[in-house]
Structure 1
Amino acid sequence: MYEKVFKTDFDKDPHAQKKMLNIAYVLSKWLKTYLVTSKALGDDALQQMIWLSILQERDLKDEFAKKATEFYTQIQSVPFKKTADALPVWVASYFHREHVSWEAPLKHAETIQHCTETMTACWDILRLKMACEMSMVQRITAESSTRKEVQAAELQMIGLYALKDIYETLWQLIDSGNDLYFTRLEAFLKQFGAYIDPGELNGIFQYAYYFTANQSRHKQEEVHYERTHRLNILALEHGVFLLDGYMPSSAFGNIVTIACLTKDYNWASRFIKDYNHVLQENQRDEAVLLAQAIVAFETNNYKGVIELLESVDFTNHLDMLRAKSLLLRSYYEFGAEQDVMLNTCASFENLLRRSSPQTEADKAMLAFVLTFRKIVTQKSGKELILNRIEKSTGIYSKKWLIEKMKHYKPEYAIRKVKSE
């Protein structure tokens, strides 16, 4: 065999042994690939799991949704007879839950709950079976049943228990709204963030942001801005904003805005300088310009905001909304001529009304522009404007508008009637 392959005698070739080892290594790789492929192709459930994971990884949402639904429906029709059935049932529920969460979580709340309960039941089956096995082993070997705590060297166990503690605390935070759980969550993220995948951390931070944003929006408490700022710093440390190698310009602006709301202006300026390289090159100049304008506005440098933004047309829609709002508010604070403010309002209003489809951000900004115009023209009653602002559930810069209304005085046109 050796002579046919290498055209030389095995005993006379000084490299014969090395060649044979190389051949054995290549053959073992081929055999492994063949066996894995055969297993995947022969097991319909396993094949679908692999394919769904590929679709999810590639962000092919339409095909993922279709296949996830098909797999979930297929698995539901199969009787659950043994512990090994827990894996495909768990995976089918997981992928289906991911699909409906992407699509419309509120619409599919009942389905999401059912999938969650199924996944929990699958894990409980495995956990309880293992607990039975361990209890039996301990009785036979007369070993104590004390549970060992996590050791620093056991990296897998650190991540496992850290994720369990983090998600348990996160759920308690969202479910109860108790501030104690936010403090605990923050401590866990500081201690164990380095052991958790950035993609997993991204989801955890999104839940935490939901809590702080909801609190800030409804209570306008500075403490919640401070918490969001601390979350942003932690997220930056663990690479959460850089999952695709770049930071979206909207996230860049949000980080600067929150830092300024907590009056951490020096940190905001350093962030702009130190992190602008993570913005996509075609967005960098505009994102940095807008961030600088945010810092200028929050430090009462209204003239600086006007100089930065007055002649710039932003290509990113959300950045454009922010820039126009900053410009209008800066005009007002700086005491610009009424015609300048009203002309800017008119062009901005036309732009917003032509926007299709009109997003929630567009609607909130349009409500701001219409209210801003009423304040500038001073033709409407103070109570009328203030009531509209306070009752509005979606209006941009609500706190700023309410603050300006404190000094609002309507200037009605008084018509004199001559006495006959």
Structure 2
Amino acid sequence: MAVFKKSFRGRGYSGNYLRKQCNALYVALQDWLVQQQANRQWEELLFLRQLQERKSDHDFQLFLNPAKESLEQYPYRDAEYFERTYLLAQEQDRFFGRQQERRYDPALQRQSDALDHYFIIQKLRLACEMLNRNRIIQADYAPHLLPEILKVIKQETRFREVPAIAIYWQVWRSLQADFSMEDYQEFVDLLLVHPSTFPPEEMREIYRYAQNYCIRQINGGQRDFSQHLLKLYQHQLDRGLFLLDGIFPANDFKNIITLGLQLEAFPWIREFLEDYRQYLSPVQADNIYNYSLAQFYYTTKTYDKAVDLLREVQFTDRYYDINGSIMLLKIYLAQKDYFSFHYFLDACKIRMQRNREVAADYRKSIINFLKICKRIADLQERSPYLSTAQYQRRHQKIEQQMTTVRPLFDQWWLQQELGKLAQGN
């Protein structure tokens, strides 16, 4: 009522009148949003179409070349570029058809080729997303006509000469079992040679496919792909693909830090931390930076600094909280502070058993990690008092447990710690 009186001074309250005004406002908002979305190139195309409808041939010819020039100034050669090329050539061909001239005009061929390119790019893009979702959520999306399209791409090199088609073809192939190291290198080379094929948002998604391929290889035991994964991150950093909205995504920041430390790229990681901390979300920046710097100090065995930083972090994210706790456990084990280790491990185990805010599989993988970690610590602490036979039996039992228990968090680190014990015994 108060809003009505202020908005419509001097008018008595009427619900029907208010609804009509709200509806008019909503329609005006729709029009405004459409205008915001429209850009100069689409406006030119629509203008040419209207000239065509009105048979304003002189004006059509006058504005056709500027529209072509505007299209060529579009910075990418993605599906949208070929869609606009097709529509512009369509208007040009319609104009030519009305002239009733018996001669060759390239607009018809350009229209056909652009439609082919647009269709193939979009079909490949959707097919890749379908297969990706089928894997993640066990869906049953079916990319119809894809076998025919793939056959055409293989048989006719002219399609593979279009960078957008060549790139999405490699994306599709990266999701297949027979994708080789040579294929992967060709994929990455295409991304480097044609950096402006897609808008940043789409290029970022394409890089994610390349990242996921590397991650699958790493998970399959090919740890050499860690270097390739780091290079992918570095390429994207060089091109600003992590800063599409001015904020560095927290998960990507964490993944880069973790990978770089695993590869012992310590100077580069230290520089990365300082260069990109300013782009973290202001709400999380201090915690993420301190946690990441603690990771750096832990990995470089500067344990006291790592512990001090972890004590400063105010964990609001459950996953950061869990990983911070595990880092402290690893530090206590490295320092052979068994009292603090066992006390903290028991506390972590109780918290994880009660925690229902994280995924069940993830929670189970942490609990399994804590159990095996405790056994490794016990063996490390008691090894001076065990006979060789006793030590070997316990060592083998832990080794066997690591191969059978699933899911298991950070299995690689557990294997490393167990390996250190075997070397030191």
Check if 1:217 corresponds to 2:219. Answer: yes
CA distance in 2, matches of 1:391, 1:340: 29
1:273-326 Cα distance to aligned partner (Å, 9 max, x none) = 111121100110011011111211222222222222145341112222221221
Check if 1:355 corresponds to 2:385. Answer: no
Give the superposition deviation at 1:167.
2.2
Give RMSD over aligned pairs. Answer: 4.2
| Partner SS for 2:315 | coil
5 Å-filtered alignment, 1:153-192, equals: 161-175=162-176, 176-192=178-194
Residue type of the alignment partner of 1:180: E
| Partner SS for 1:196 | coil
Give the superposition deviation at 1:203.
1.9
5 Å-filtered alignment, 1:217-236, equals: 217-221=219-223, 223-236=224-237
Give the superposition deviation at 1:238.
2.6
1:96-152 Cα distance to aligned partner (Å, 9 max, x none) = 97997797655555423437559x49x97xxx9xx9xxxxxxxxxxxxxx97xxxxx
TM-score, length basis structure 1: 0.61
Q: Tell me how many residue pairs correspond in the alignment.
A: 305
Residue type of the alignment partner of 2:343: N
1:50-86 Cα distance to aligned partner (Å, 9 max, x none) = xxxxxxxxxxxxxxxxxxxxxxxxxxxxxxxxx9x99
CA distance in 1, matches of 2:227, 2:305: 26
Alignment correspondent of 1:400:
413
1:170-203 Cα distance to aligned partner (Å, 9 max, x none) = 3334422411122222222222123321221122
1:253–1:290 contact (8 Å) kept in structure 2:
no
Give the superposition deviation at 1:268.
0.6
Residue type of the alignment partner of 1:402: Q
Residue type of the alignment partner of 1:288: Y
1:383-411 Cα distance to aligned partner (Å, 9 max, x none) = 221111133453222122112223548xx
Instruction: Report which structure shows greater RCO (CA 8 Å, sep ≥6).
Output: 2
Residue type of the alignment partner of 1:114: H
Give the superposition deviation at 1:366.
2.2
2:291–2:324 contact (8 Å) kept in structure 1:
yes
CA distance in 2, matches of 1:257, 1:370: 23
Check if 1:322 corresponds to 2:335. Answer: no
Give the superposition deviation at 1:220.
5.0
Residue type of the alignment partner of 1:276: R
CA distance in 1, matches of 2:339, 2:132: 46
Decide whether aligned partners of structure 1 residues 268 and 398 sit closer, same or farther in structure 2, where only a CA change above 3 A counts: same
Residue type of the alignment partner of 1:383: Q
Structure 1 unaligned runs (5+)?
A: 1-28, 37-82, 132-145, 148-156, 410-420
CA distance in 1, matches of 2:325, 2:183: 38
CA distance in 2, matches of 1:186, 1:235: 12
CA distance in 1, matches of 2:297, 2:314: 19
Decide whether aligned partners of structure 1 residues 275 and 256 sit closer, same or farther in structure 2, where only a CA change above 3 A counts: same
Residue type of the alignment partner of 1:166: I
2:214–2:229 contact (8 Å) kept in structure 1:
yes
Residue type of the alignment partner of 1:215: Q
Residue type of the alignment partner of 1:340: S
Alignment correspondent of 2:394:
381
Structure 2 unaligned runs (5+)?
A: 1-42, 51-111, 383-392
Residue type of the alignment partner of 1:314: F
5 Å-filtered alignment, 1:99-248, equals: 105=135, 110-114=140-144, 116=146, 120=149, 161-175=162-176, 176-221=178-223, 223-248=224-249
| Partner SS for 1:193 | coil
Residue type of the alignment partner of 1:322: N
2:120–2:165 contact (8 Å) kept in structure 1:
no
Alignment correspondent of 2:365:
364
Residue type of the alignment partner of 1:233: Q
| Partner SS for 1:214 | helix
